[in-house]
Amino acid sequence: MRTLKILGFFLSYPDHRHQEMAVESYELLALEKWLDARTIKDIGAFFAMFNSRNLLDTQEDYVALFDRTPSLSLHLFEHVHGDSRDRGQALADLLQVYKDAGLSINIEETPDYLPLFLEYTSTLTPQEASETLGSVVDILSSLALRLKNRDSLYAKILEGLVTVASQKPSRKVIDSYLEKSSGAMLTTQEIDKTWEEQFAFEQSGRTINQAGSCPISEEMLERIKNIQSKEQV
C-alpha cells in the first residue's frame, strides 16, 4: 500500500528527495484514495511546504521537533517505556514480527521507529493495516495533538494515520499523555534532567507483570502478531 509507505517516508529526516517527490506523492495519495479526500487535501499543505521553504529550514525544524523533544519521539515504545530496560524485549518482539514477515532493517534505527513501522504496515492488506494502526492509535493521536500545539504541519501526517486506524483514540489515555507533555520545547532545566542517570535506583510506580514486561506493549504486539497470523492462514 503506497499511501503508508509515502507517509512513513515523509516522517523521515527531510532531504532533497522529499522535495523532488512531494508533488508526485500527493498525486499518488489521491490516486490510491485510501485516505478520505479532506485528509488528502490537508496533507497536501504539508507536501507544499517542501516546495515553499528552504530545505535547511525544514531540516532544522525536524530536528527541533523529533530529535530534541522527547514527547515527539518517532520511536513508538519510548512513549510506553521511556528509556527504561523494559523497552528491550518489546523491540526484540517487534523485530521478530518483521522477520516473520520476511523483512529486514537496513537503516540504523530501532524497530519501533515510526517510518519503519509504517513501511511494514504498508505490506499488509488495507484491513490488516487499519487494525495494526489501531494498535498504536493512542500514541499516533497524542503525537498529532502535540505537533498541532507546535503549529507543525507534520501533525497532518499523524492525523491522517489516525483517520484510517481501526480503533478510535481513548480520550482518557490521550489526556494522560498530554498531561505529561504538551509537546512544547524543553527548557534548559528539562534538557539537563533528561541526561540524568536513569538506573541508579530501582524504578517504582510502574505496572509490570511477573516477567518484567509491560502490559501496554504486550497488548500492542499481540494484536500485531494476531493480524500477521491471520494473513498467513
Q: Which residues contact 176 (CB under 8 A, 6 or more apart)?
A: none
Q: What is the pLDDT of residues 3-25, one digit of tens each?
A: 999 999 999 999 999 999 999 99
User: What digits encode the pLDDT tens for the residues 150-170?
Assistant: 999 999 999 999 999 999 999
What would the pLDDT profile of 50-69 be if each residue is shown by its tens digit? 889 999 999 999 999 999 99
Whole-number pLDDT of residue 78: 87
User: Contact at 8 Å (CB) between 50 and 58?
Assistant: yes
Helix (H) or strand (E) holding 111: none
Q: Is the pLDDT of residue 33 over 90?
A: yes
Kindly report each contact of residues 190-199 with a partner whose C-beta sits within 8 Å and lies 24 or more positions away, as own/partner.
194/70, 198/82, 198/83, 198/84, 199/85
Taking residues 97-109, what's their average pLDDT?
87
Cβ atoms of 119 and 8 closer than 8 Å: yes
- Given a cut of 90, is residue 115 above it in pLDDT? yes
Q: What local confidence, expressed as pLDDT, does residue 213 receive? A: 45
Mean pLDDT of the chain: 84
CB neighbours of 190 closer than 8 A, spacing ≥ 6?
none
Task: Read off the C-alpha cell for 12.
Answer: 523521515
Is 80 exceeded by the pLDDT of residue 216?
no
Q: Residue 74 burial by CB count (10 A; 0-12/13-18/19+): exposed, middle or buried?
A: buried
Partner residues linked to 18 by β-bridges:
none
Q: Locate the domains of the chain by residue range.
A: 2-188+211-232
d(CA 153, CA 173): 23
pLDDT on residue 207: 36
The residue behind cell 484510517 is 164
Going by pLDDT thresholds of 50, 70 and 90, the confidence category of residue 87 is confident
What per-residue confidence (pLDDT) applies to 181? Answer: 86
Q: 114 falls in which pLDDT band (50, 70, 90)?
A: very high
Q: For the whole model, what pTM was predicted?
A: 0.81
Query: Residue 189 and residue 187: Cα distance in Å, rounded?
Result: 5
**Chain centre distance of CA 81:** 15
Which H or E run includes 6? helix 2-10
